[in-house]
Structure 1
Amino acid sequence: MANPRVSSDALAAFAVFADHLNMTRAAKELHISQPSLHSKLATLARELGRPLYLRAGNRLRLTADGERVARFARDHQERLDLFLAELRGVPATRPLVIASGHTAYLYLLGDVIRGMLSERPGSLRPLHTNRQEMQAAVRTGQAHLGVFSLHVLPADLVTVPIARYPQMLLMPAEHPLASRRSLRLRDLAGAELIVPPPTRPHRINLERALTDAGIGWTIAVEAEGLPMTLDFAALGVGLAVVAGCVEPPPGLVARPIADLPHVTFHAIHRPGALDDPRVADLFARIREAVPAPARRRAAGRPRSRGPAQRSASAPSRYA
């Protein structure tokens, strides 16, 4: 059977659709009608002989083949953009995309983002994600690089530890425990804690550690995301366990909890991604921006060298 002819236009449309997983928003970005977009996607699926997306309840999601096609489509479009820019003798305009969560954006990546955007406006686009979304974005080519704290390292991505911090108890400066230089889990007995919702990894791991240590505690409030956690702590609602990179708001102090494992942040990318000098430069900037003590602590952690290697790191993770 002859090889199928795949339309570059349909590939470009599928890359945009894969970013949104929404026909209305994708069609608007492409400046075409929804029926036209639907026709392009149907033609691409027919040419490839594979379903590329399906409906799950009220949402659309990519199939495994759809994720592979999205990755290829994004790579194809990026190579085309870079080639045309080089041919015309002008700088490439397609921005690099970095995927991360609250903590990394607030305390690890801020200087890098400000620096790159001041040097060249529009050169970098942050993508705010949770841990699973970050890995999917990197895996499918939606993001060039991810930065997150990980528990289980993905086997198909390259993960490099870049910063490692102790876990800290965040509390009012006048709290009795604030006079201590270091704490242990037993010091949290009876504490009212600000915690994430039940399914979040940090909540699961913190509950497990406290249960294993036989420590009783209560929920002060469930908070989604670091900013809300800090706001509730500043209001005096309860105490919170956070990564050591978090800067306490005015009136609060943080003390390390000696018998909780450290939190390790990783830079995550696809194999071969650093062959692109722009991605390699972004990666180098991120590593250089990490404070030296956290960088030295991370240097002692195992590094994944490719899809065949998997490593377990600290069992606590932060968004």
Structure 2
Amino acid sequence: MEFRALRAFLAVADFGNITRAAENLHVSQPALSQTMQNLEREIGRPLFRRTTGGVELTSDGKLLRFHALRIVHAVEDAEQELGTGQRHESDLRVGVLPTLAHDYVPGILRQLVDSTREALAIKLVESHTQGLVKQVLMGALHVAILDLPISEPSLEVATLWRERLVIVASPESSLESEMSWADMAGMPFITMEPGYGLRDVLFQVALFHGFQPRIVFELTSFNALLGFVRAGFGIALVPYRSIPWEVARGGVRLVKPLPETHRNIGIISRGGRRLPHAAAMLKHLLIEASPRISVQEGTDWE
């Protein structure tokens, strides 16, 4: 069983799609398909079953994934400690939600850079929650800062702070400044595409209050979401700290949902692994800053 084949198998398992896994591995789709067929032939059992959207693991595939992760992580740890891998301690690969990439995270990264003597090569990746989880599992990212909960047992998860969520509407909206969730039933919602935790929170809260949200647009960009709200196509659930400037300039109208709605923000990394020094320092700085950020998030707005 070749190590390269195990890496390829994990990529297919994480992406659930051979084409996307091949793109991530920078190999052709036929070559990756052949590698998976050879691996199944070697094991003597099917590892994947086809679905409408790609592939999913069989029970044997799940068992192989458990052991393959341990093998790949052990080899990568050995390469890291011996200095024989392609990446070095000064590399830092961080994933972050788009709504977190403009305030707290850049400031803490600046603090990290200023506090270290080594030249850091920082790669920052913005993606949705599911995409960040997959990239951490595959080793493409050291850590990711995203919304919780995360149910993947092979990840180490630390809660950082609780983030307040609010409703935004167009400036011409006649909605009150405070509004119960039940009163939003039937209203058109604009949200991020599937994979974003913010979308999941909307559905969870709406269903808890007895209705299925009526989605009129699912977007990939937070700025686009605000643009469609501004144009009057619907309302949206967003992090409060992401929109003060828009509210101040009259771009959107702020509505406080009742009861108040929050989501937890946390940092994830692969469990059972030693983080590179820079990644460990970033995690430490984020945890250290969490009480201060929590106080800022808890401050009432006027």
Partner of 1:242, secondary structure, is strand
Unpaired stretches in structure 1, ≥5 consecutive residues: 1-5, 299-319
2:156 maps to which residue? 158
2:271 maps to which residue? 271
For these two proteins, the number of residue pairs brought into alignment is 281
Unpaired stretches in structure 2, ≥5 consecutive residues: none
1:237 maps to which residue? 233
**2:80 corresponds to which letter in structure 1?**
L
2:51 maps to which residue? 56
Contact 1:220 1:237 in 2 (8 A): no
Distance apart, 1:145 and its partner CA:
2.6
Distance 1:10 1:189 in 2: 50
Q: Please report the TM-score for the alignment, with normalisation by the length of structure 2.
A: 0.66
1:140-155 correspondence runs (5 A): 141=139, 143-151=141-149
1:147-226 correspondence runs (5 A): 147-151=145-149, 157-172=155-170, 180=177, 183-185=178-180, 192-196=187-191, 200-211=199-210, 219=214, 221-225=216-220, 226=222
* 1:67–1:264 Cα change, 3 Å: same
Distance 1:281 1:295 in 2: 22
Distance 1:94 1:64 in 2: 34
1:10 maps to which residue? 5
Distance 2:232 2:108 in 1: 33
Distance apart, 1:26 and its partner CA:
3.1
C-alpha distance after superposition, 1:58-106 (max 9, x if no partner): 624443135335524542452354245269xx97179554444432345
C-alpha distance after superposition, 1:207-262 (max 9, x if no partner): 235538xxxx9958333343332111222333322222322434224354351332
* 1:245–1:48 Cα change, 3 Å: farther
Distance 1:61 1:271 in 2: 23
Deviates more, 1:230-239 or 1:103-112: 103-112
Contact 2:145 2:266 in 1 (8 A): yes
1:308 maps to which residue? none
Partner of 2:265, secondary structure, is strand
Distance 2:20 2:155 in 1: 32
Matched, 1:261 2:256: no
Partner of 1:126, secondary structure, is strand
Q: Which has the larger share of strand?
A: 2
Contact 1:95 1:125 in 2 (8 A): no
* 1:291–1:177 Cα change, 3 Å: farther
Which of residues 61, 77, 85 in structure 2 aligns to 1:79? 77
1:86-101 correspondence runs (5 A): 92=88, 96-101=92-97
Contact 1:15 1:73 in 2 (8 A): no
**1:263 corresponds to which letter in structure 2?**
R
1:295-314 correspondence runs (5 A): none
Distance 1:127 1:66 in 2: 30
Percent of aligned positions that are identical: 18
Distance apart, 1:280 and its partner CA:
1.5
**2:189 corresponds to which letter in structure 1?**
I
Q: Please report the TM-score for the alignment, with normalisation by the length of structure 1.
A: 0.63
* 1:223–1:128 Cα change, 3 Å: same
Contact 2:89 2:278 in 1 (8 A): no
Distance apart, 1:162 and its partner CA:
1.0
